[in-house]
Structure 1
Amino acid sequence: MRGFVRSERGQVYALFVIVMFASAFGNLSQTAVNAMLPEIMEEFAFDVGLGQWLTTSYMLVLGITVPVSTYLSKRFSTRVHVLVGLAFFLVGALADCLASSFAVLLAGRVCQAVSTGLLLPLMQTIAMTRFPEGRRATAMGVAGIAMGFAPNIGPTIGGALSFSLGWRSFFVLLVVGAALLAVVTVLMVRGGVSNPSERFDARSFTLSALGFGGLLLGFSEASSFALSSPFVWGPLVLGTLFLVLFVRRQKRVADPLIDMRIFASGQYSVGFVVLCLLHASFMGVTLVIPLYVEGLCGGTALDAGIVLLPGTIAALFLNPLAGALTDRFGVRPVTLVSGTLLAVGSVSMVFLDESTPLAVTTLCQAVRGFGVSGLMGPLISWSLAGLPGRLVTDGSSFSIAGRQAAASLGTSAMVLLIAVVGASSAATAVPALPYQLAFAFSAVFAVATFAFIAAKVR
């Protein structure tokens, strides 16, 4: 066993598993708090308006931190990179476990988001640069467990632990997991290559943080305020401006935070667009379905969980399978079939109403979920495969940040449609209309995802 770990292949496998589990913990934490929020609000006596920042801040900080991963991967060894990410996660989980106030709880969430932002791009980079060419899609499919399965199962695990052992038990689990991963990293991962001459461009980071942060904040606030509110258009306008300035600066400085030559690759550019469309389509649905089941159909939180469960469990198996099939048969057949499932499932959900049996809703959601699971890993690996090895980390970081923004846009738009249309007279005549429009928004992006795959992915 020791000889295996010391071999080059053993090192790659050990490193990949460590980073995958660390990323899975981060994505698990991102969504699990949604299910624990009522108990947390009761203990600390704050309302849902303040409580939602435990989720919103995570998304904002993750998106802001992701570009820094590129610098860390160049400046320090992989071992140091992983340990820095795990240290942030361990501190954050410990702070939340022992939190005596909302401020401490929020600070812990911020630390966990920093960790996830540092490790997610590294996981994708390892899959694309450390594995043989014929196994990269398979590795990315396994990584899809962290990117797809973990955040979807998060509310179920968080709710179960909160109900049985109290919400702090979830963070105890994270503390133990992060500590074990840190010990394994020290024992099993070598130092690796570092470049002490790599310079950190603070101005680029500031522009990136203001750009991605503004977009994420604006999209998030769109679900709470009117589009005419300065709380919405203000961050969006400023975010777009700072992002343009960030991109321009990256083309001029000697040590860019993210090398914009990534978009010289047509394959990467197409993959970036398709992945953003995919995230705009599917992320918000996991929030809309509980609102539909409980708000319109009179179901319970358990019913909503059952509707989501088949697609979530399937992701555990379909992500690796889709990657393996991509390595064997190529990306086009796998993504065409998966894109068809996504489009069919999403369009079918537009016709759900208050009289639709939950079994039918579960079937539609399962078909849609199968499509998402079959697209994630293959599209990411295909997109990054269009880049030379030295730009994979840059491409991975920018893609993740873009996907975060797209997911925030999709989620906010769906919630906004439910809120605005639900308050109108049309909803009185057709109670299902707000949810049908939200599902229709998702379906438009799902069909656009399929159309791009059919036209461009080969």
Structure 2
Amino acid sequence: MKNEKISMKVIGAIVATGIMSFCGVLGETAMNVAFPTFIQEFQISTALVQWLTTIYLLVLSIVVPISGFLKHRFKNKILFVASVLLFTAGVIIASWSHSFELLLLGRAVQGIGTGIALPLMFNIIMEQTPVSKLGMMMGVGTMIPAIAPAIGPIFGGIVITQWGWRYIFILLIPVLLIAFVLGLSTIEQKSETRNETLDLLGLFMIAIMFTGLIFGFSNVGSQSFISLQVGGAFFLSFLGMLGLIIASKRTESPLLRLELLKEHKFLIHVLSFFIIQLVLMGLVFILPNYIQIVNGESPQISGFVVFPGAALGALMTPVGGKLLDKFGPKKPILIGSIILLISLLVYWMLVPNLSNILVGVLYFIFTLGISLSFGNLMTNGLHQLRETMQPDGNAIIMTFQQVAGAMGTAIVASIISLYQNSGEYDFVAGTINGSQIGLVFLIALTLIELLLVLSVFRNAKS
């Protein structure tokens, strides 16, 4: 297996499916830059505008658990074609929307398309890549969508400044066409399909659980905790979780095999992966808003500020995977987690006086930590499971990732909105104070993540 080469068709299939995830994240991060524009055009609040990101990630979190069922039931190429067509439909809806509600619908449809393509990419990697090169290829798979946050802000800034926000979506169409042609010519079927029944009750419970969870967090900044919008939403989420557990025990083919979380090391990896994704999306929300509102820069400048660091950090992701292949998971994951914590601490200490240069440099350091820890947590987490259970483990990790992203955006947006609308500060001062508290929240989570990975590697050999 060590001497086996990765075929060009496998690489092409990974790139084609990865482009779908890339387009989803590109639209997401480009719109983060456009949030102030949306707030003015649609006359909405900061807490409401973040639903453009949240709805996309929420739909992803509902669709991704179906990936195991889809993999067994349909051929890879059919799934790929469906994902491209759905995402393209969402792009068309969003680009032609003249109301905030229609724009949300477009993002939701895009989420369905990406929700099919993202697990498909990692399933192809796990199924068709030699074990000796799995870490590197998982890094490549992680890198493709990870490049989008680097390009997204600058892409969004230029497009909004020159042509308007609608072209964020229109310009994705040629990229989708390239992915479509590449996927049709490279995606192969290595496993047999079989008839399998979709666990509709489990899917319904997942939708209830995640909808309540994300809706509750999105209203924390504007509603009382005991209100229906917050406390009621969390209670609904709790009921959905109980229903999912009960439904999973009553079927032989549950959407999410939650019993895998009983494997302690796998659980720790999932939780660590979850936290890092939450922290990443929280910071991605803070930075462009800080640059535009506090530093008074245009959307285009805010994109240029974070681009160099984000691009270099994303390109380092396969290197992080190669380090895992060579040295094992302990060193890259721990070093990456420490780098994340340090960069966030420096951000927090400098918030009142953060220049654009400091924002860019610190973001590079932060994404360097992401490149060492993020993909490697997923790879090593799946290694804690039997090979036959790894696709089910992948569905769990992908689901947690999407929920974490939605939560990160929702929580941080709620915190900043709370201070912006408190009446104690003007809008700029509220953004500064909200960003500081948001960073404290992200620092606390990163410290917890570091303690988790230290516990799992304490007695492990590198």
Settle same-fold status: TM greater than 0.5. yes
Contact 2:150 2:309 in 1 (8 A): no
Give the corresponding residue for 1:449.
449
The total of aligned residue pairs comes to: 449
Report if the CA contact (8 A) 1:66-1:117 is conserved.
Answer: yes
Q: C-alpha offsets along residues 424-452 of structure 1, whole Å, 9 cap, x if unaligned?
A: 75999x98544322211111111222222
Identify the residue that residue 23 of structure 1 maps to in structure 2: 21
From 35, 40, 44, the equivalent of 1:48 is 44
- 1:278 aligned partner, one-letter code: I
- Tell me if structure 2 keeps the 8 A contact 1:122–1:393: no
For residues 107-256 of structure 1, what are the structure 2 equivalents within 5 Å? Answer: 107-256=105-254
Seen in structure 2, the aligned counterparts of structure 1 residues 233 and 408 have a Cα distance that, compared at 3 Å, is: farther
Q: Give a deviation string over 1:266-298, Cα, whole Å, max 9, x none.
A: 332111011112123232112222333344445
What is the aligned counterpart of 2:380 among 370, 379, 382? 382
Whole-angstrom distance in 1 between the partners of 2:347 and 2:134: 34
Q: Which residue of 2 aligns with 1:437?
A: 437
Instruction: Report the alpha carbon displacement of residue 149 of structure 1 after superposing the two structures with TM.
Output: 2.4
Q: Which moved more, 1:156-165 or 1:342-351?
A: 156-165
Distance in structure 1 (CA, Å) of the matches to 2:109 and 2:67: 15
Once residues 186 and 364 of structure 2 are traced to their aligned partners in structure 1, the CA distance between those partners, rounded to angstroms, is 39
Q: Per-residue deviation at 1:230?
A: 1.6
Residue range with higher mean Cα deviation, 100-109 or 178-187: 100-109
Distance 2:167 2:408 in 1: 32
Answer with 194-203 or 74-83: which moved more.
Answer: 194-203
Q: 8 Å contact 1:201–1:257 — kept in the other structure?
A: yes
Query: Are the equivalent residues in 1 in contact too, given 2:156–2:300 (CA < 8 A)?
Result: no
> Could you say if the C-alpha distance between residues 154 and 225 of structure 1 is closer, same or farther in structure 2, counting changes exceeding 3 Å?
farther
- 1:60-111, CA deviations, whole angstroms, 9 ceiling, x for partnerless residues? 2111111112210111111212122112112222333444655554333222
Partner of 1:58: 56
Deviation of the 1:386 alpha carbon: 1.7
The residue number in structure 1 matching 2:399 is 401
Q: Which amino acid aligns with 2:44?
A: V
Contact 2:57 2:405 in 1 (8 A): no
Relative to 1, partners in 2 of residues 1:328 and 1:161: Cα closer, same or farther, differing over 3 Å? same
- For residues 139-185 of structure 1, the C-alpha deviation after alignment (integer angstroms, 9 at most, x for no partner) is 11112223422134323212312322343333233222223322333
Secondary structure of 1:48 counterpart: coil
Post-superposition shift, 1:322?
0.7
State how far apart, in whole Å, the 2-side matches of 1:447 and 1:8 are: 38
2:7 aligns to what SS in structure 1? helix
Partner of 1:77: 75
Q: In structure 2, which of residues 24, 32, 35 is the aligned counterpart of residue 34 of structure 1?
A: 32
Q: Distance in 2 between matches of 1:333 and 1:168?
A: 44
* Corresponding residue SS for 2:224: coil
- 2:29/2:284 contact within 8 Å kept: no
- Relative to 1, partners in 2 of residues 1:218 and 1:151: Cα closer, same or farther, differing over 3 Å? farther
Partners of 2:165 and 2:434 in 1: CA distance: 33
**In structure 1, what is the equivalent of residue 307 of structure 2?**
309
Residue aligning to 1:3: none
Out of 343, 348, 352, the position equivalent to 1:354 is 352
1:305 partner amino acid: G
CA distance in 2, matches of 1:427, 1:159: 25
Quote the sequence identity (%): 25
Contact 2:155 2:303 in 1 (8 A): no
- 1:146 and 1:326 mapped to 2: Cα distance? 18
* TM-score, scaled relative to structure 2: 0.88
CA separation in 2, counterparts of 1:356 and 1:145?
28
Change (3 A) 1:426 1:187: closer
Please give the alpha-carbon distance, in whole angstroms, between the structure 1 residues aligned to 2:290 and 2:104.
29
Cα deviation 1:213-253 (Å, max 9, x = unaligned): 22122222223433333211222211122122212321320
- Deviation of 1:376 (Å): 1.2
> 1:236-315 residue pairs with structure 2 within 5 A?
236-302=234-300, 304-315=302-313
Q: CA RMSD in A?
A: 2.8
Residue 311 to residue 234, structure 1, CA distance change in 2 (3 Å) = farther
**Structure 2 CA distance, aligned partners of 1:86 and 1:258?**
25
Counterparts in 2 of 1:29 and 1:152: CA distance versus 1, 3 Å: same
Gaps of 5+ in 2: none
Shift of 1:372: 1.7
Secondary structure of the residue aligned to 2:250 is coil
Report the TM-score, using the length of structure 1 for normalisation. 0.88
